Structure 1
Amino acid sequence: MIIEKIATMESPLTPPSPVFSEIFSLVSLLFISIIVLLIQRYYLPLRTTPAYLLVPIFFALWLPASMVLLVPIDLASSATVDNDTAARGIWLLPRALKVSWRITYWLTFALTWFILPILAEYSDSGYREPKAKVLDSLNANAQYYLIVFGSGAVGLIYVLISYGHFSESLKSTVMALAYCWGLILAIYLMGHGLVSIPRRLFRDANISGKLRRIQTHAPSVYEKMEDAEMDLEDLELQIAELSRRKGGSVTFFQDWIEELVDMTNLPESQPVRTRLVRGSGEPTALPNVITEKYLAELTRRLMRAKHARSRYVSEWNRLLEDVVKTQKIIDSAASKKLDFGNPSSAHTGFWDRHNILTPYTRYLLHYHVVPYLRLGLGGFLALASACIIWSECVKGLLPSLSVIRYSVVHHKLGDKGQVGFAGQAIAGFWMLYMCAAALISITEVKVWRGRALVRRNTAHESAFWYASQVARLSVPLTYNFMTFLGKELYEDTVFYDFLGQLINLTPLGKWFDYLFPAFILVPVFATLFGLYGKVRNVLGFDGGIAGWGGDDDESQGELGYYGTGTWREGRDLIERELNGTSAAIRGRRADVIARGGSSDGSSRKPILKIPGSRGSGGRSSNGAGPSTPFGTSPTGTGGGGGRYVANTSARRVGGPPSRGGGNSRRGPAVLDDEGDDEGFFGALGHRFKNTIDTIDAPEWWTGMKKPKWMSGDDDDGGSSSRGNNSDVRRWFGGGNGGGNSGSGGGGRIRL
């Protein structure tokens, strides 16, 4: 009896059981869930984020990640010629695969086209009540849905004309149009990422070149951070002015206005001259009648401004950390020891908080081993990118030449191949790399209405938008990968039976699927040869398509791209920030403007001194002796370089921003708000004033009094420490004429 049972169990007619494969699949899904939660925790605070945001974003990331697991399982389950389960790796029954594909696809479809767009606009709405937020979200998405449904109607008419009946027309049209739009976006983004990922690894292998690129990028980031801060301050001042208004329509929205005041960083008691200290100096006039729509738009703008400021502050802090770390690695070449010190960031990772390596082994790792690892990984990924690009170009005409096909199908039995566990692992790698190339391109592009991923502080609308892009790109990339393997393999899969045959229902969809991926050469060559940077320079874009260039800034030489500045400017700016002088300069500038009002309402021109960088000795960055002041050119276009200082100073006092040229210099700086009205003698007086103010007076000089003829209208004379009336610019027709504010001056010569 026992022998008969054993013979029955070993009979080839007994269907194999996929118990091990099911356990493996469940464990893999659990692992994917943990990874998705960690990604959410990296960009969003889980405790304070509402559930209506966390749950949809979790599924928008989890479902595409599960497709990377489902595709290799589907290939191994369908591509078989016998019951040899050991040769086909992890496999599932066709019924389980079909249910899994239906749930995954339709949930992803609903999240991409309906749930996430509505929730994104709901979170971005400035209204207070949920009902008003929902109506505002539907109104904002009305144009989007009109375009989508209009395209679907055109496609439906085409399918009815070409196919002839309604059996599968509606569903196939909806799925095919969604696939085609996703494929257009996926191919273009993937082509950019296939070049940018290996190139970034190659460039980061050169430590000094990496530091130079960070320094070149620093002025642009700092300027955007300053602009974001001023935009936020302008909105805060507008809210403060609104809170001081009494009576009229404001009384109906008093609670709403108080909530807006609580969201700002303004003090409870506003100083009289706050508008001169904060913001751009161009206050926005309030409407006569305050409406609910106006307050909703003001709330939306305030939330966006706060997140924009958080984005650029986070980017600037990360840039400073990268500079400090890279500089320490370069400096360790002399001492053969590398110590990054105690981590100061609250979000420092586990490996950064625990020093496992010794200073010498850390030096060997970061200075010798890591660069070669980056070169090796960059070369491997560059080869993988070439294989993907080649397979995209030849799959329509010569599918037998596809490299990816031979890397996945290892067991060839007759005209049909069989995918084993090794082929499944390689297929998972190909899909992960294709998805990573497309998704990294989304984060590099800067044209998405200011959306960005910020560590632990991503805006809710940005989180919804990025999650929707991940869901939108997953299905096209999945089916596009399966077409690399040849018809005899992927046409037998459950996924093709569910989606592929509907895409190939019409000749248009079939030719589009095979010919359009060849256009991947357009973004590949554009990124490889820096076409985006050339187009940006021709059109004069400061932002916009700037993100497409990636790390192309050094291809323009030392000058870099428009709006980024030179690496010397970035180096000096970073040194001042690390030495703690940039914050002090901004604070002193605000204090000078706040105290600079005279009796007749005019403001005295503040003169600031910027201390030299560490070890500079008050010399310019090119070692050409004492530095000249920033922004003292009569035209305001940068007689002394240092564009970031000139722009910041001009914006803080409400003047027009100036473009600096030449090398960045360290030393005294003049904050002048006269602009083009200052003449030659006035500028010369400014230079004399800066030179005299930077001289350290000897001890015997402090006890001396200046003569009355130098005291202006001050009858008591005063010691040298009271030098506010001894402005040497008066001798050249500049300044305010001693104690008489507004007399003389104006950069004119006195006769």
Structure 2
Amino acid sequence: MWVFYLISLPLTLGMVVLTVKYFSGPDVPRYVFFTVGYTWFCSIAVIVLVPADIWTTIVGNGSGNAAISFFWSWSYWSTFLLTWLAVPLIQGYEDAGDFNMIERLKTSIHVNLIFYLIVGSIGLLGLILVITMHKDWLDGRGILGWAMACSNTFGLVTGAFLLGFGLSEIPRTIWRNADWTARHKFLSHKIAKTAVKLDDAHKELSNAIVVAQATSKQMTKRDPLRPCMDVIDNMLVQMFKEDPSFKPQGGQLGENDMDYDTDEKSMATLRRHLRAAREEYYRCKSEYLSYVTEALELEDTIKNYERRSMTGWKFISSFRMERTGKIGSFLDMAELVWRCILRKQLERILAVILGCMSVAILLAEATMLASGVDLSLFSLLIKYVGDQEVLVQVFAFVPLMYMCLCTYYSLFKVGRLMFYSLTPRQTSAVSLLMICSLVARYAPPISYNFLNLISLGKGKTTFFERVKFLSYVLST
């Protein structure tokens, strides 16, 4: 068991750090970076613990159960406190436009209090109803179990829909991407759509800059709000210094745009609006350049495939000079074979494999409540290699990670339309915190769902099922 963790945990930590660095925007503070990284690591640790929990349950290892108990407590309660308390507080703080730490913290607490008062009122009504029906739940153990169940019910219910979408969409997307014609049409559509969004974002940022500059010009040096305006002016200076090529165009003043200098709160609104417009513009710009680059690379691939005989099976790129020397000629040939032949075939093979895995998961989900019948492929594989620790953990880890991938893929696709953005090197601190909160919220329900898909034998239940999820509720 420890060999598995000596390999998986360092890999998990490295993957989390690289992922956060890849998506983080240039203005993300370090404490947000570490908060997001720790939350993601704890969430994935919950998932990584499942194979070891399955193995210790099969062999009945007492010392292993003690270690599993400690790691479950650390990872589960870390994600619980982060997703419901720490991360929302930091997210509200980062989203606030106030000019000092105390005011930003007050704004964050105020926003979160409104949310938790609404949720708490609903939860209190439910708790009163439950206590009325079960008076023996008045002890702390029963209330704790009820709270844990409510926390994870959200993930179980919505996670089922997200998982179903991802199980079908991921294999289909990979299969479609292997078709160059279909992919080129898709990229052409996305480029045109993103170009419109980029133009709108440019106008919005230009308008915010014009408003800020006009507000600054009409404000005297003795104005009480001048220190706040100086902070905004410094933002503009820094913005133009980082991107000298940006030129405000189409910025116009509306009827109420000069009302920002009435008090400090209105100035905070102006600062928040300017920051949001800037983040949206650079996010759209990054997406647009990404789609254009991919489209040009795809056109290169198609041209090289059609002219492979004329070029001597050498890849000629329009982005760089041709490689020289014997090694350069070999690398050009290897690049053509990979990009024009092997990559397409491997994508199709991967799509078929993932499609088969999706069918196996759906079959296991559909027959989960069937008594006396075990049609779960993963359950059968684990039983078949029940005395081999490495194979048990691999056969548990691979499908569980695929279920997480499907759920989070759907979560990111849906969320990008409404709540947040996830763009390489341009994701804001607020979006990163929102994403890490949702990732942490879904990790335990996904693990519990997977454990329900496998049957370890009569009387054998994992530590997670007995203690850390619904056991408090089910035992009362």
Look up the SS of the partner of 2:59 in the other structure. Answer: coil
* Residue 155 of structure 2: aligned partner: 182
Which one-letter code corresponds to 1:154 in the other structure?
L
Match among 44, 58, 70 for residue 24 of structure 2: 44
- For the residues of structure 2 that align with 1:42 and 1:490, how far apart are their CA atoms? 45
* Residue 434 of structure 1: aligned partner: 403
Q: Write the mapping of 1:114-513 to structure 2, written as runs, cut at 5 A.
A: 114-165=85-136, 166-167=138-139, 168-247=141-220, 251-264=223-236, 277-279=249-251, 282=254, 284-287=256-259, 290-336=262-308, 337-342=314-319, 358-398=331-371, 400-411=374-385, 420-445=389-414, 449=418, 451-486=420-455, 488=457, 491-502=460-471, 504-505=473-474
Which one-letter code corresponds to 2:109 in the other structure?
L
Give unmatched runs, 5+ long, in structure 2.
Answer: 242-246, 309-313, 322-326
Match among 74, 83, 87 for residue 53 of structure 2: 74
Which one-letter code corresponds to 1:397 in the other structure?
A
Which one-letter code corresponds to 1:179 in the other structure?
N
Considering only aligned residues, what root-mean-square deviation do their CA atoms show, in Å?
2.8
- For the residues of structure 1 that align with 2:442 and 2:226, how far apart are their CA atoms? 45
The answer to which structure, 1 or 2, has the higher relative contact order (CA under 8 A, 6+ apart) is: 2
Could you report, residue by residue, the CA deviation over 1:641-696 in whole angstroms, capped at 9, with x for unpaired residues?
Answer: xxxxxxxxxxxxxxxxxxxxxxxxxxxxxxxxxxxxxxxxxxxxxxxxxxxxxxxx
Are residues 446 and 169 of structure 1, via their aligned partners in 2, closer, same or farther at CA, if it must alter by over 3 Å?
Answer: closer
Look up the SS of the partner of 1:279 in the other structure. Answer: coil
* Residue 2 of structure 2: aligned partner: 22
- Contact 1:159–1:169 (8 Å) recurs in 2: no
Which has the larger displacement, 228-237 or 444-453?
444-453
Are residues 378 and 357 of structure 1, via their aligned partners in 2, closer, same or farther at CA, if it must alter by over 3 Å?
Answer: farther
Could you report, residue by residue, the CA deviation over 1:445-496 in whole angstroms, capped at 9, with x for unpaired residues?
Answer: 2555452122223211001001111100100000110011137468532112
- For the residues of structure 2 that align with 1:303 and 1:493, how far apart are their CA atoms? 48
Give unmatched runs, 5+ long, in structure 1.
Answer: 1-20, 84-90, 269-273, 345-353, 412-416, 508-751
- For the residues of structure 1 that align with 2:457 and 2:260, how far apart are their CA atoms? 72
* Residue 64 of structure 1: aligned partner: 43
Larger radius of gyration: 1
Are residues 341 and 155 of structure 1, via their aligned partners in 2, closer, same or farther at CA, if it must alter by over 3 Å?
Answer: same
- For the residues of structure 1 that align with 2:393 and 2:437, how far apart are their CA atoms? 27
Are residues 283 and 372 of structure 1, via their aligned partners in 2, closer, same or farther at CA, if it must alter by over 3 Å?
Answer: farther
Are residues 236 and 427 of structure 1, via their aligned partners in 2, closer, same or farther at CA, if it must alter by over 3 Å?
Answer: same
| Deviation, structure 1 residue 356 | 9.2
- For the residues of structure 1 that align with 2:125 and 2:194, how far apart are their CA atoms? 45
* Residue 68 of structure 2: aligned partner: 97
| Deviation, structure 1 residue 150 | 2.3
- For the residues of structure 2 that align with 1:223 and 1:359, how far apart are their CA atoms? 37
Which has the larger displacement, 95-104 or 138-147?
138-147
| Deviation, structure 1 residue 22 | 2.9
Are residues 212 and 280 of structure 1, via their aligned partners in 2, closer, same or farther at CA, if it must alter by over 3 Å?
Answer: farther
* Residue 244 of structure 2: aligned partner: none
| Deviation, structure 1 residue 406 | 1.1
- Contact 2:17–2:37 (8 Å) recurs in 1: yes
Q: Which has the higher helix share?
A: 2
- Contact 2:142–2:473 (8 Å) recurs in 1: no
Q: TM-score, normalised by structure 1?
A: 0.57
- For the residues of structure 2 that align with 1:235 and 1:304, how far apart are their CA atoms? 10
Equivalences, count: 457
Match among 8, 12, 16 for residue 32 of structure 1: 12
Could you report, residue by residue, the CA deviation over 1:499-556 in whole angstroms, capped at 9, with x for unpaired residues?
Answer: 244365289xxxxxxxxxxxxxxxxxxxxxxxxxxxxxxxxxxxxxxxxxxxxxxxxx
Q: TM-score, normalised by structure 2?
A: 0.88
* Residue 311 of structure 2: aligned partner: none
- Contact 1:156–1:169 (8 Å) recurs in 2: no
Are residues 133 and 212 of structure 1, via their aligned partners in 2, closer, same or farther at CA, if it must alter by over 3 Å?
Answer: same
Look up the SS of the partner of 1:286 in the other structure. Answer: helix
